[in-house]
């Protein structure tokens, strides 16, 4: 028995020195320490040993077993460490490499201009209100002093929906919604999408407007021009001024078309201003007393001014864009030019 143990110990040393993989380590366990391994065999053989010698022999076998287990554990620990070291090496990150840059996006030019416009009027104390894109006839037309069958309805080509509903043709309906909710003093902006059956280089079936409304005591056309002067100076150029021309809108009386002096040529005349020195930018006027009354506001006490600005038009003028479609095609080559 002792001879066998001695031979097995030598065999074990030899096997241990050859182990260089987890597979070999596993096989070692099976052969020596497994249920059918050599040490289990030794234990079984204990029955053949003389009774008196059995305890001492049992201890020898047991010591051998402990020794084999320790060797196994030590090797297994070593291998785990080597494996970890290898993984760390292969997964190493070189933190000195230059980082991958993610391209930064930018706001759509219409959003830039819309925000800029709101910023200018917010500086004058305007609040922002947004009305619905699907509007009813009452808000879009009737209460704005455009009765049914009135010829001024033809000024805008309307997309009608079921019943009394339509896609709003103008943000002016927002005026009614605001005056229904709030009594003077009122100073509000209504930005939003509007829809008209119209399409060419300067018209799109969907575009954006920004309505302005001020209602208080003693509001006059001069307030309108003063505010719009500040607006065009901040949006286009500090040296520009406005000019009011008589016009017609059903919801304002008097109504005006507002021109800005040409910021390209300083008023001398160029292709942008079609050699007139002036560029038309928006419409506005003094709120028609009927519109105030339609909202329960006493027109003998209060007066108001209103204006409607096309956001696409301002954007096209500001950046020299000659086709409105470019702003809706979402061609990145076009949009990327508006990065600040």
Binding residues for ligand DAH, per CB under 6 A? 170, 172, 211, 249, 251-252, 283-285, 306-308
Q: How far apart are CA 221 and CA 335, in angstroms?
A: 38
CB of 248 to ligand DAH, least distance (A): 9
CB of 114 to ligand DAH, least distance (A): 16
Cβ distance to ligand DAH smaller for residue 131 or 284: 284
CB of 226 to ligand DAH, least distance (A): 16
Residue nearest to ligand DAH (CB): 308
CB of 144 to ligand DAH, least distance (A): 8
Q: What is the CA radius of gyration of the chain?
A: 43
> Is the Cβ–Cβ distance between 212 and 189 less than 8 Å?
yes
Cβ distance to ligand DAH smaller for residue 68 or 309: 309
Nearest C-alpha neighbor of 261 from the set 241, 245, 235, 276: 241
Burial of 144 (0-12, 13-18, 19+ CB in 10 A): buried
> Is the Cβ–Cβ distance between 273 and 279 less than 8 Å?
yes
CB of 317 to ligand DAH, least distance (A): 17
Ramachandran category for residue 192: left, alpha or beta (phi over 0 → left; psi -120 to 50 → alpha): left
- Number of Cβ atoms within 10 Å of the Cβ of 302: 20
Cβ distance to ligand DAH smaller for residue 42 or 312: 312
Cβ distance to ligand DAH smaller for residue 235 or 286: 286
CB of 123 to ligand DAH, least distance (A): 20
- Within 8 A by CB and 6+ apart from 312, the residues are 110, 204, 207, 208, 324, 327
Cβ distance to ligand DAH smaller for residue 162 or 200: 200
Q: How many CA atoms lie within 13 A of 68 on its CB side?
A: 28
The SS3 call for residue 272 is coil
> Is the Cβ–Cβ distance between 210 and 114 less than 8 Å?
yes
Cβ distance to ligand DAH smaller for residue 192 or 308: 308
Ramachandran category for residue 269: left, alpha or beta (phi over 0 → left; psi -120 to 50 → alpha): left
Cβ distance to ligand DAH smaller for residue 98 or 125: 125
CB of 109 to ligand DAH, least distance (A): 21
């Amino acid at each position: 028995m002792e001879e066998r143990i001695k031979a097995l110990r030598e065999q074990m040393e030899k096997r241990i020195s050859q182990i260089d993989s987890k597979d070999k380590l596993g096989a070692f366990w099976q052969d020596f320490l497994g249920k059918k391994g050599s040490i289990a065999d030794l234990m079984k053989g204990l029955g053949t040993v003389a009774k008196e010698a059995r305890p001492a022999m049992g201890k020898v076998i047991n010591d051998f077993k402990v020794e084999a287990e320790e060797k196994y554990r030590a090797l297994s620990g070593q291998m785990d460490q080597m494996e970890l070291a290898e993984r760390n090496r292969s997964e190493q990150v070189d933190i000195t490499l230059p980082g991958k840059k993610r391209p930064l996006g930018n706001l759509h030019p219409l959003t830039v201009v819309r925000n800029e416009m709101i910023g200018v009027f917010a500086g004058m104390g305007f609040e922002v209100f947004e009305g619905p894109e699907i509007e009813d006839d009452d808000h879009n037309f009737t209460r704005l002093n455009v009765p049914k069958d009135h010829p001024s309805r033809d000024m805008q080509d309307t997309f009608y929906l079921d019943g009394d509903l339509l896609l709003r043709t103008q943000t002016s309906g927002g005026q009614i919604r605001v005056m229904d909710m709030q009594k003077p003093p009122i100073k509000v902006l209504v930005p939003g999408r509007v829809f008209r059956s119209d399409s060419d280089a300067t018209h799109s079936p969907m575009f954006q407007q920004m309505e302005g409304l001020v209602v208080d005591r003693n509001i006059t056309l001069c307030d309108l021009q003063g505010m719009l002067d500040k607006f065009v100076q901040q949006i286009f150029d500090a040296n520009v001024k406005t000019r009011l021309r008589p016009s017609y809108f059903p919801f304002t009386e008097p109504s005006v078309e507002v021109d800005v002096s040409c910021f390209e040529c300083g008023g001398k005349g160029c292709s942008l201003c079609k050699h007139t020195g002036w560029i038309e930018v928006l419409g506005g006027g003094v709120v028609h007393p009927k519109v105030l009354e339609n909202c329960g506001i006493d027109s003998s006490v209060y007066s108001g001014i209103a204006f409607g600005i096309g956001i696409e038009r301002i954007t096209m003028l500001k950046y020299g864009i000659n086709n409105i479609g470019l702003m809706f095609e979402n061609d990145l080559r076009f949009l990327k030019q508006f990065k600040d």
